[in-house]
Amino acid sequence: MSDERPRGVLLGIDYGTVRIGVAVCDPDRIIASALETYTRQNEAADAAHFARIALDQRAVGLVVGLPLHANGEESESSSAARALAAWLTKLTGLPAVMWDERFSSWSAEDALREANVKWQKRKGKVDRIAAQMILQTYLDAKCPPHGSDPAPVAAPDSN
C-alpha cells in the first residue's frame, strides 16, 4: 500500500452568503495559499466566475468548509454549504469533500488582527484566509477522500 498522497490542485472554499473565500494548493498538496474573496452577484455571474477559477487553476477537486456548531452538530449554514458544494460539483465536474471549518473565520480574523491589519482591510481578507486555513488543515490531515463527512458530495441527479 502506497503512503503517497494524491496529486493535483485543490480549491478550498469558505462558504458565505455574501462573500466566498477561495484558496488553492500546489499540485503536490503541501501548501495552501489564499486566492481571493469573491463577492456573490447572481447565479450566472457566480457560475462563470467559479468555472473560470477551476479551469485557470487546473483544479482536480474542491474542499468546502462545513460550518458546524461548537458541539459538532450541523447548523443552518451547513445545509447551505452542502448545497454550494453540490452546485460547484455540478458546475465544474470536480468532486467535493466537506471539511469541518469550526473556528476558521475566527482564527483568520485573529491572525489578521495579530498582524495589525486594520479592520477595513481585514473585512475583505478574512474569507480568503479562512479558505486557506480550511484547505491547509485538510492537506495536513493527508487529504482524506471523504473529508470530515461519511460520504463525498455528489451533484444532484439531473433526471
Higher pLDDT, 119 or 148: 148
The separation between CA 67 and the C-alpha centre of its own chain, rounded to angstroms, equals 11
Residue 113 clears pLDDT 70, i.e. is over it:
no
Q: What is the CATH number of domain 9-140?
A: 3.30.420.140
Alpha helices in 17-103 (DSSP H): 43-57, 76-92
Cα–Cα distance list, 1 to 4, 5, 29, 145 (Å): 9, 12, 19, 16
pLDDT in tens, 30-86: 999 999 999 999 999 999 999 999 999 999 999 999 998 888 888 889 999 999 999
pTM of the model: 0.83
pLDDT at 159: 40
Report whether 100 contacts 67 (CB < 8 A): no
